Amino acid sequence: MISQSTGTGPGIAVVTGAAGGMGAAIARKLHADGRRVLLADIDTAGVEALAAELSPDGSTARGLELDVSRKVGFEEALATCRQIWGIPTIVVNNAAVTQAADLMNLAEADFTSVLTTNVNSIFFGCQVFGAAMADQGFGRIVNMASLAGQNGGTATGGHYAASKGAILTTTKVFARELAGRGVTVNAISPGPHDLPVVRATVPPDRLAGIVAGIPVGRLGSPSFVADMVGLLTSDDAYFVTGACWDVNGGLYLR
């Protein structure tokens, strides 16, 4: 039976990797929309600073240390969220390791580290938070994938591309599992965006060439991706699940 519960009200959002870049843009958007936001990141100082900026008294934004590579981290985050505000209605699995590497010389340790962090963060985020949301009959999960997981990657390493491809499959798995219990699970797949991590990963001379190869001729806007998250996590988004929304400037067409 499909639950008739809804997320109407202020809502409680958890955003992983919220200390900066895309995660911070998403957290700002959800908070501006009236959500209470738990900002989770391994960078504790970063999320605490952002939380203090958004909500000086801590009533609508809190920072939380979270290691997304381990299931227990999500279990502890859920327990903390329950204690502060209750079961979340929105989860954005954004945290990831972005790392460039030469494919044929990629070290086993680097491969394992990136795959473990990036895939575990999505799988256990969906599993732990998804179960709690399903029990209450409503939830919206958004997983941040990447163009690299669709076209094999260009500027990033093969391990990063492989991890993002796995995220797209994981999204479908949990979408099918949770759909009948009021929880949607979707992915957003950004191409190159105007973010510090992009500029840190790609040398300036190479970045210029990448931008020149984007059909629209410029990097993407993180604020627009945040708007996409806002739309996918709205109450009326119940008919979108298992989808991947592309935002890549025309680099990948289907």
- How many secondary structure helices (H) and strands (E) does the chain include? 9, 7
Question: What angle in degrees, to the nearest 10, is found between the helix axes of 71-84 and 108-136?
Answer: 40
Of 160, 163, 241, 249, which one is the catalytic site residue? 160
Q: How many CB atoms lie within 10 A of CB 250?
A: 11
Sheet architecture: strand order including 61-65: 61-65, 36-41, 12-16, 90-93, 139-144, 183-190, 244-247
Residues 211, 248 contacting (CB under 8 angstroms): no
φ and ψ at 188, to 5 degrees?
-120, 135
| Torsion 18-73-92-207 (CA) sign | positive
Q: Is 58 left (phi over 0), alpha (psi -120 to 50) or beta?
A: left
Residues 122, 164 contacting (CB under 8 angstroms): no
| 238 a catalytic residue | no
Q: How far is CA 99 from the centre of its chain?
A: 17
Question: What angle in degrees, to the nearest 10, is found between the helix axes of 158-178 and 108-136?
Answer: 20
- Active site residues per annotation: 160
